[in-house]
Amino acid sequence: MHFDSLWHNFHLVTMESGQYHPIYDAAIAVCDGRIAWIGPAAESPKSQSAEIYDLGGGWVSPGLIDCHTHLVFAGSRASEFEQRLNGVSYEQIAYQGGGIVATVKATRGAAIEELVSSGNRRLQHLLQDGVTTVEIKSGYGLDLSTEKTMLKAARLLGQTLPVRVVTTCLAAHALPPEFSQQADEYIDYLCTEVLPALAAEQLVDAVDGFCEGIGFSTAQIQRYFDAAKLLGLPVKLHAEQLSSLGGSRLAATYRALSADHLEYVCEDDVRAMANAGTVAVLLPGAFYTLREQQQPAIELFRHYRVPMAIATDLNPGTSPVLSLRLMMNMACTLFDLTPEEALAGVTIHAAKALGLSSSTGTLEVGKSADFVCWDVDSPGELSYWVGGQLMKQHIYQGSLSR
Ligand code: DI6
Ligand code: FE
C-alpha cells in the first residue's frame, strides 16, 4: 500500500454518524492529503518511503469546522461594549452612528489588505483552537463593490492559511443608508445586480440573509432565495433569533443547508427542517452576549433528528468570540448538549451545514486528512475545559501546520 505519511501515538474519535467511535492506540496513513488508512496502530500498513509522525499522546479528533462566522470586517465596536456597560443606551449608541452601521461604514472605507490582515488575526485564534474549515460571510458592505471585496478577502485568507474557507454572501444582512425605508428596492438590487455579479466571479459558495423584524421579512427573503436558486447557489438563513417569523420553515422549502440561531423556533419549523435535511446551527456566543433567555428547542431537534451544529458567529456586534471550543462548552452548559453532541456539532454536522459531508467532518478513508491532536485524557474534555490552549498539533490536508 502506498502512502506519504503515517501518524501515530494517540487515541482518536472518528465522529462517524455523530458518535465518538473511539480507536485506542490509533494510526492514520495519509496519501495526497487524504486519509488512506485508519485503525489500531498495531495493524497499520508499512511503507519504506512514508514519513512517520509521532504525536506524543493525547486524543485526535477531526479538524474542527466553524460553519458560521462574520470574521472579515473593519473597525472595532469594543468601545460600544464599554459605553453600554457605562450606562449609555443602545438607542444613544445607534444615534451616534454606532451598531452595525458603524461596521458597514468602516468596511466600505477599508482597503482589501486591511480586511485581510485584521481577518487573518481573528482567524489565527480559531486555528489555535483546532479549526481546519471556516465559513466566512460578507454582509458589512451592502453594496456590490464592498461585498465583492469582503468575499475576495475571505478567499485570500483561505489561500494563505492552513484552513479551508467557504464563502457566503450575506448581502441581505441589513438595510444600507442609501436604501433607507426602501427594503423592497434593496432586495431588487441584490437579486438583479449583486448576486449575479458575485456568482459570475465565483466568489460565493452559498447565500444567506437575516430574517427578522430588524432585518428582512419572509416575503423579501423568498425573492432573494429565488434569485439564488436561479444562479444555482445553495441557501441558509439567520432565522428565529429574536422572534418567530417562520424563516426556518421558509428556508426548509428551499432545502437550505442550515437555519441558524433558532432560539424562537417552533415544532412546525423543526419538522420542516427535518424533512428538508436542513441543519440547525446553534450560536451560543450571541445568546450569551445578548443575555437571551429563550433557549433553542434542543429536545425537538433531537426528537425529529435534525442535526445540530455549533459555531462562533464571530462578529463585532453580538458575538465577539474567538474560540470554537468555548462554544462547545457553552452549548453544553447553556443548551444542555452532551459533550459528544457538542463535538459532533463542530465536526460532522458542521460539515453538513456547509455541504462538505463527502470531504471533511469525520475521520474516514477518502476524506481530507484534517485532524487535530489535543492535550486531553478523554474527548469529553474538549467541552469541559473553559479556555486554555489544548491543541497540540494541527494537521490540514495531511500537512502539519503547527
Ligand atoms: N445577527 C446578529 O445578531 C448580527 N448579525 C446577524 O445577522 C449582528 C451583527 C452586528 O451587530 O454587527
Ligand atoms: Fe450571524
| Domains, the chain | 5-62+367-400 (2.30.40.10), 64-353 (3.20.20.140)
Cell of 145: 463593490
Atom of ligand 1 nearest to the CA of 261: 1
Q: Whose CA is nearest to atom 3 of ligand 1?
A: 318
Residue nearest atom 12 of ligand 1, based on CA coordinates: 317
CB atoms within 10 A of CB 99: 18
| Strand ranges for 72-225 from DSSP E | 131-137, 164-172, 206-210
Express each pLDDT in 183-197 by its tens digit: 999 999 999 999 999
What residues are in contact with ligand 1 under a 6 Å CB criterion? 100, 103, 173, 210, 238, 241, 286, 315-318
Q: Which residue, 376, 325, 343, is CA-closest to 57?
A: 376
Which of 210, 263, 288 should be mutated for ligand 1, with most atoms under 8 A from CB? 210
- Describe the crossing of helices 100-108 and 144-160 by its angle, rounded to 10 degrees: 80
The pairing of beta strand 59-62 with beta strand 64-66: unpaired
**For the CA of 316, the nearest atom of ligand 1:** 12
Q: Which of 368, 353, 306 is nearest to 206 (CA)?
A: 353
Report the nearest-CA residue for atom 4 of ligand 1.
318
Q: In this structure, what C-alpha cell is assigned to residue 285? A: 456566543
- List, run by run, the mean pLDDT of 10-residue segments along the chain (402 residues): 95 98 98 98 93 98 98 95 89 83 96 98 98 98 98 98 98 96 97 98 98 94 98 98 95 98 97 98 96 96 98 96 98 98 98 98 98 98 97 98 82
Grid coordinates given for 185: 428596492
Distance 168 CA to ligand 2 centre (A): 11
Q: What's the gap in Å between 137 CA and the centre of ligand 2?
A: 8
How many Å lie between the centroid of ligand 2 and the Cα of residue 220?
18
35: part of which helix (H) or strand (E)?
A: strand 34-40
The reply to whether the predicted model has a pTM over 0.75 is yes
Probe target for ligand 1 pocket from 68, 76, 100, with the most ligand atoms within 8 Å of CB: 100
Task: Give me the pLDDT at residue 358, please.
Answer: 98
Looking at all shown ligands, the one closest to residue 281's CA atom is 2
Q: Which of 70, 282, 283 to mutate to test the pocket of ligand 1 (most atoms within 8 A of CB)?
A: 70
Closest residue by Cα to residue 316 from 66, 73, 67: 73
Q: Which of 225, 188, 186 is nearest to 209 (CA)?
A: 225
**The pLDDT value given to residue 93:** 84
Residue 106 is predicted with a pLDDT of 97
The pLDDT of residue 94 is 78
Instruction: Work out which ligand 1 atom sits closest to the CA atom of 99.
Output: 11
* DSSP secondary structure letter of residue 260: E
Q: Which atom of ligand 1 is nearest to the CA of 238?
A: 7
Atom 11, ligand 1: residue with shortest CA distance: 317
Residue nearest to atom 10 of ligand 1 (CA): 317
Which residue CA neighbors atom 7 of ligand 1 most closely?
210
User: What was the pLDDT predicted at 348?
Assistant: 98
Strand partners, 239: 261
Whole-number Å distance, alpha carbon 306 to ligand 1 midpoint, is: 24
Choosing from 107, 287, 315, 319 the residue with most ligand 1 atoms within 8 A of its CB, the one to mutate for a pocket test is 315
pLDDT at 103: 97
Q: How far is the CA of 136 from the centre of ligand 2 (A)?
A: 10
Q: Which atom of ligand 1 is nearest to the CA of 215?
A: 7
